[in-house]
Structure 1
Amino acid sequence: MVGTMVPKVIVLSLAGLASLCVNALEVTNIKDCPTLSRRVGGAANVTDLRPDDIKVVAAMGDSITAGAFMLGVDNEEEGFDIRTYSESRGESYSIGGNRDAITLAKFIQNYSPTAQGASIGSRFPTTPCVDENCSILQYEYRPLNDRLNAAISGSMAMNLDRQLDYLITRMKTMIGVNFNQHWKLLTIQIGSNDQCASCNGVLDLSPDAYGKHISTALERIKSSIPRVIVNLLGVFKVSQVYTITEDGPAYCRPQNNDPNTILNRQMCSCFQGADSNRTHMDTIADGYNAKLQEIYEDFKSKQSDTFAVSYMPSDINILGFPIEALSNFDCFHPSLINHQWIAKTSWQNLFVSQPDRQGIWEFDANKKIYCPTEFDRIRIS
C-alpha cells in the first residue's frame, strides 16, 4: 500500500515533548521517506550516528523481544495451529526482519539496506538454559533465523550475560558483519518477568539486584563489542495487564466466563493472590526505572567515541489499550499491532533528546512513521 506523506513541523511528543524545529515528514510506509544524502566518511563518532551509518542491528530481552504469541488465535479455526504457539521473531518490534515488517530493524534497513542481524520467520519458544554444561546453540538458539536476536522467552535481567554469550559469538562469525568496523545498534528491554516473579521471595529481584545485572551487561558490551550504541528501554507496569482483563473479556477466551482461567494468570505469578501483589509489582517497576535512569547517568561518564548508552523511558499506558493490543492467545503478550506501534514510537524517540523522552506512551494504532532528516542523529543525551 502506498503511504501518504504528511509534511509538517513535527512535535515529537508522547506527552508534552518539546517541538523539534525542522521540517519533517510522517508517512504510513517507511519506503516513502526521503532518502538521506550520503556523507563522505560516515559518522565521526557515536554522537554523530544517523540510521544510514548503522550496519548491524541486535537485540536482547525476553518473550516480547522474541515476538512470542503475537499472532494470537483464529477463533474461527479448529484444531492445532503451530503459529499460535510460536515466537514471530521476524515481526518483533525491535529486531524483526521479515519482508514488509514494521520494526526498528526494517526502518534502519530502509536507510542502510545491507544492515545485518534482523531475525526472520518464526519458531517454537525455548526457555533460558541454566545448566552450565548446556550448549547455547543446541538448547536456546536457532542462529540461521534468530541471527542477532538474543532474546529468550522467560528471561529476566539475570539472564542477560547468557544472552551475550550467544550474541558476541554470533556477531563475530556472521557473514556480512565486520565486527571491528561496523556501527551497531543494540536494543535491550527486560524486566517484565522480574516483576511477575517478585512476589514469591525466592529470588532477589530487587531494584538493586536488577540494576547490578543491567550494569554488568553494559560493562561487558562496552569491553567486548566495538562501535556500538545501546538503546536501553525502560520497563512498563505489567500489573496493568491484569487490570484491563480483570472482568474476563471474551476476547481473552476465559473458560466458563471465569477470568482466573485466562492464561495471563498462569504466566505472571504475581497476578495470583491478593491485590497487594500487583501493588508490589508497581513499586518494583518504579524501582527498576529509577535504577535504569541512574545507570544511564553513570554510563554517560563512561562514554567514548565508539560506545554510548541511549536511555528510552517506556511508560506505556496499558490501561489505555484496546483489548486487541494484547494477543488473544494469553492476553499477556503484545499483539502484532502493538509491536508495530511500539516500533514506530521508539523509532521516533531515537531522534529526541533524552530529557524530552519523558512522558506517557499512549497507544495509537494509526500512528505514522517519522522520517529522519539530514540533521537528525540517534540521540544519547
Structure 2
Amino acid sequence: MHRRFFLFVLYCILSLLTITSATLGKNTTVAKTRYTSKKLPCKFHELRPQDVDVVGAMGDSITAGNGAEATHMIGILREFRGLSWSAGGDNTLETSITLPNILKKFNPQVKGYSTGTDLKTRDLWFNAAIAGARSSEIPGQAWELIGRMKNDSQRTNFENDWKVVTIFIGINDLCALDRDPVGASPESYIKTLEEGLDILHAELPRTLVNLVEIWDIHLLQQVAHGYGSTRACRLAQAAECNYVSTANDTEIEVIKAVNDEYQRLTEELIATGKYDTENDFTVVIQPFIKDTVLPCTENGEVDSTYFAVDCFHFSTKAQALAGMNLWNNMLEPVGSKTTVWGIKDLKCPTKDNPYIYTNRNSNQQSSNAIINR
C-alpha cells in the first residue's frame, strides 16, 4: 500500500471534523405505470426493466460507497455499499435512489444488490468493486464477479437469469498519473478494461454491461473550495489524490487530455461492435457524467455537499444523482444519451419504447418502429 494511504488513515484518526448529511430534493419521481407481459426476452435487444433478474457492479470506492454517509474523516474508510448508486439495495426508492431500487419497482424479486455497511452485517452480493481499485484490477474483478454468481446457485440461475452489470473505473488511474505514468496511460487503461470486458463476454451469459464513462476529475479542485468545503476536506483530498488536487495549470491540461483520451478510447472500443456478436451479451456506454457540470447552490457556488467529507468520494446526494442519471441513460437511445448529469424526473419505458436501449435497438425504438418477433 502506498505511503500516502497510511498518511491519510493517520489523518482520519486524528480528525474530529463532522458535517451534516443532506438529501436530494423531492422533484424526483417515477411513473407508477408498468407495461408487463409474460413474454420473456430471447435476446438482449428486447430486454425490459421488468426482465432484469440480477444486478452486479465493478469498480472502485465510488461504487463501494466509501464515505457516503460519513460525518467525520474516519467514516471515509467505511463502505456504505447498500447506498451505492449502481449496486446498492438498502431502503426503498423513495429514500435511496439507486439502480437496484429503481428496478425493484418493475421486478421486486431482482437480486444481486449489496446491502449494509458494517463488516458483520453487510452483504456484498454481486458488488465486486474494491476501494482504491484501478483499471488494471478490472480483469480480476470480472473473474470474482463470475465466481460469486456461479457459487450463488440457491439465489441465482447463472445460465438463465438476465443480468445488468455496471462498470465505473479510472479515477484512481488519473490520481496516479504522476507516480505511474505508464500504468495510468490511456493505452494501459483501455488494454485492461478491454481484457475485463472480454472475460465477461466469454464467461457471463445473458448480460448487459453498463460502461459508465469517467467524470472530469480535474474539477476536484473546485469541489475543495465550494459550498460546504473545509480546510480538513482539502487536506483529505490532497492525501487521496494529490496529483489532481494540487495540480498547476500545466498539469491540469495534462490531466484533462488523458481523461479525454480514456473516454475516446472507450467509445472507440465499443464502436467496433465486438461485444454485439451474441444475442445474450452487449456493452452499452452510459455517458451521463462525461461532460461533468458540478452541482451548484442557488447562488451559483459549487455545492460540495454532493461529495463526502473528504471532498473526493460521493455523498448520498451524489450517489442518488448518479443512480438517477444512470437509469435515465439506460432509457435513452445510443447516440442521443445525456452527457451532463442533473436532478431530473426518472424516465419510464413506454408501450412504444419498452426496452432498455442497446446499440442494436436504438434506431428501432427511437423511431417507434419496433419489430415484433
> Fold match, TM over 0.5?
yes
* Aligned with 2:250 (options 270, 276, 286): 276
Task: For 1:129-144, list aligned pairs within 5 A.
Answer: none
Of 260, 276, 285, 1:286 maps to 260
Q: Which runs of 5+ in 1 are unaligned?
A: 1-25, 75-80, 125-141
2:335 is paired with a residue of what secondary structure?
helix
Is the counterpart of residue 98 in structure 1 residue 90 in structure 2?
yes
Secondary structure at the residue paired with 2:347?
Answer: strand
2: distance between equivalents of 1:171 and 1:144?
A: 17
SS at match of 1:70: coil
AA partner of residue 115 (structure 1)? V
Q: Is the 8 A contact 2:140 2:196 kept in 1?
A: no
Question: Alignment partner for residue 167 of structure 1, among 120, 127, 145?
Answer: 145
- How large is the Cα RMSD of the aligned pairs? 2.4
Deviation at 1:338, TM superposition (A): 1.1
Are residues 1:71 and 2:51 paired?
no
Aligned to 1:133: none
Secondary structure of the structure 2 residue equivalent to 1:154: coil
Residue 136 of structure 2 is matched in structure 1 by: 158
Tell me, yes or no, if structure 1 residue 323 matches structure 2 residue 304: yes
- Residues 370 and 197 of structure 1: CA distance in aligned 2, closer, same or farther (over 3 Å): same
SS at match of 2:53: strand
Structure number with higher strand proportion: 1
Counterpart amino acid of residue 236 in structure 2: L
In structure 1, what residue type is equivalent to 2:255?
M
Question: Do 1:303 and 1:309's aligned partners in 2 also have CA atoms closer than 8 Å?
Answer: no
Q: More displaced, 146-155 or 297-306? A: 297-306
Cα drift, residue 39 of structure 1: 3.1
The SS at the match of 1:334 is coil
- Alpha-carbon displacement from aligned partner over 1:84-119 (angstroms, at most 9, x marks no partner): 531110011111000213101111122111111000
Provide the identity percentage.
27
Deviation at 1:379?
1.1
| Contact preservation (8 Å) 2:227, 2:303 | no
Q: Deviations over 1:277-322 (max 9, x none)?
A: 2222111110000011011112356431111111112322137542
1:1-381 correspondence runs (5 A): 28-30=28-30, 33-40=32-39, 42-73=40-71, 83=75, 85-100=77-92, 101-123=96-118, 145-174=123-152, 175-201=154-180, 203-245=182-224, 247=225, 251-255=228-232, 261-270=234-243, 271-300=245-274, 302-313=276-287, 314-315=289-290, 316-318=292-294, 320=296, 321-327=302-308, 329-357=309-337, 359-361=339-341, 363-364=342-343, 367-374=344-351, 375-381=353-359
CA distance in 2, matches of 1:294, 1:358: 18
Q: Which runs of 5+ in 2 are unaligned?
A: 1-25, 297-301, 360-373
Contact 2:208 2:283 in 1 (8 A): yes
- What is the CA–CA distance in structure 1 between the aligned matches of 2:227 and 2:163, rounded to whole Å? 43
Distance 1:123 1:190, change over 3 A: farther
What is aligned with 1:138?
Answer: none
The Cα of 1:331 is off from its aligned counterpart by 0.8
The two structures have a TM-score, normalised by structure 1, of: 0.78
- 1:203 Cα shift? 4.3
Q: TM-score, normalised by structure 2?
A: 0.80
Which residue identity is paired with 1:97?
G
Alignment partners' CA distance in 2, 1:338 and 1:349: 16
